Amino acid sequence: MNVVVALDEPRGSALAEALEDEGLSVIATWPSETIARSLGDPTAEVWDVLRSAEALVLPASRAALTHGVVGACDRHGVRIVALGERAGEARLARAFGLADPLPLAVEGWRLAEAIRSGSLAVRAVGGERGRVVAVWGAHGAPGRTTVAIELAVETARTRGHVALVDADTHAPAVAIALGLADEGPGFAAACRQAELGGLDAAELTRLSLPVGGADGIVDVLPGLNRAARWPELSERRVASALEACRGWADVTVVDTAASLEADEEIMSDLDGPRRNAATLAALSSADVVVAVAAADPIGIARFLRGYAELRAIVGATPVVVAVNRLRTGPLGIDARGQVRRTLERFGGVDDVSFLPLDPRAADAALLAARPVGEVMPRSALAQAVRRLVARVDGRRGDEEAALIPLGRERGRRIARPARRARGRGEDGVRSA
C-alpha cells in the first residue's frame, strides 16, 4: 500500500521509517502544508505522487487539512489519515467527515494497522442538532457583545464545540473585541453560501476563526467589516445559516443588534432589504434568548420599552434577563433590590441574573483582546457569567450550588477587619 506522509520534521521522517518497517511503502515525505500550497499549481509534482497514493497522513490543522486538500484527495481516491490530540483538531476532522484523529505520537504499527483495516475511512457527518442562543439588548451599549463573548467561552468549557456569530448589522464588534481580522469572509459569506445550499460543517470551519486557548475552543464567524453591507444579511440567509450551524456546533451564540422594528412596514417595496432582518431572524431561530440590560436608570428604562417588543417577537421562547455592570452608584445601596422590584413591577420579570461592574477585568480583556474568562478567570465578572451559563443551560440547581463555594473562597482570600467592610452594598461597591 502506497502512503504519503505530510508531517513536519523530525516527526515526518520518523513515522515514515516506522511505516516502512511495518511493510507499507512510503512514496513521499513532505512538510505538512505542501499539498495546501500546491492547490493553485496543477502542474506541481505533488499531484503525480498523490495519484499513486492510497493513503495520506497529515496533521489535523487548519493550515494542512483544508477544503481544497480534502477535495483533491477525494478526486484521486486517497484516504486521509489525520493526526492530532486537541479538541479543536478533532472538531476539524469531524467537520470534513473524517474519523477522530490518532495521536501525533502514535506508534507506527498501530497506524499501519488502522490504514490496512480501513478503520479511518470517511464517515457521515450528522447527529444531534445544536442549540442557538441569541444575545439581545436595548439601545445604549448595555454590553451585548461582551456578554455574548463571555457566554460563548464559558459555555465551551462544559458543552463542547461552541460557535460565536456576529449578526449585528448596526455596530458589529466581536472581531474588534477579540483582536481578529475583520477583512475575511465571516458570517456574510456563510449567509451567501447558505442561500446557494453549499453551507456545511467543512465550509463553516473554513470561514470561522478559532478563539480561546491553544485549541481555539470557540469558532467565531466575524460580522460585517462595514455597516453599509447590511443588505447581505437577509432574513432568509441568516435563518438558513443558523440552521446549518446547528449541525456544526453544539451551541451557537449569536450577537444581535438592538433595533427590533420591522422596517418593511414603512417601505413602498415590501420585498426590499431590511436592516433589522438579521436580528429578527436570529431571535426567531433561537432556542433561548439572553436579554441584557444596563444597570442604571436609563438602561433599565430602555430595556423595559424594548422588552415588550422582544416578547412579541420570540413568543414562548425562554428569555433569560441579565443586568450588566451592576454597581451602587446610580442605584443606591440596595442596587439588586431596586432593579428586581422595577423589572418585576413594570416588566413582569421575576428572575434576574446580575453581572457586576468589574472594570479591572474588562479593561484587561480589552487590552489583551481576549475574553475575560481567559485573562482573569477568577474575577467577579467571570464567576457571574458561569452562573449565567447555568441558567441558560437550564441548570438552575448547579447555579445556586455554585454560589456557596465562591462565597466561602472569597471570604478566605479577602478577609478584612469588620470596620473595613462597612459602607459596602451587597454587590461589593463602597457607598458614599
Residue 418: per-residue pLDDT: 42
Read off the pTM. 0.74
Amino acid, single-letter form, for residue 243: E
DSSP SS3 for 320: strand
What is the span of the domain harbouring residue 15?
A: 2-117
**pLDDT on residue 303:** 97
Report the pLDDT averaged over residues 345-371. Answer: 95
Look at the chain and report how many structural domains it folds into: 2
168 with 85, same domain: the answer is: no
Residues 235, 288, single domain; the answer is yes
The pLDDT tens digits for 160-191 are: 789 999 999 999 999 999 999 877 778 999 99
Same domain, 34 and 165: no
> With contact defined as beta carbons under 8 Å apart, do 183 and 127 qualify?
no
Q: Is there a single domain that holds both residue 141 and residue 265?
A: yes
In sequence order, what DSSP letters do the residues of 251-285 get, joined into one string?
EEEEE--S----GGGG-S-TTS--TTHHHHHHHHH
Report the side by side order of strands in the sheet with 55-59: 25-30, 2-6, 55-59, 79-83
Q: Is the pLDDT of residue 309 over 90?
A: yes
Average pLDDT over every residue of 296-308: 96
**Interatomic CA distance for residues 296 and 324, integer angstroms:** 9
The domain that holds 84 is classified in CATH as 3.40.50.2300
- Would you state the cell numbers that stand for residue 425, as one nine-digit string? 452594598
Q: Do residues 70 and 187 both lie within one domain?
A: no
Domain contains 122: no
Rounded to the nearest 10 degrees, what angle do helices 380-392 and 396-413 cross at? 170
| Residues 217 and 334 reside in one and the same domain | yes
Close Cβ partners of 335 (under 8 Å, ≥ 6 residues apart): 295, 326, 327, 328, 425, 426, 427, 429
**CATH number of the domain within which 313 lies:** 3.40.50.300
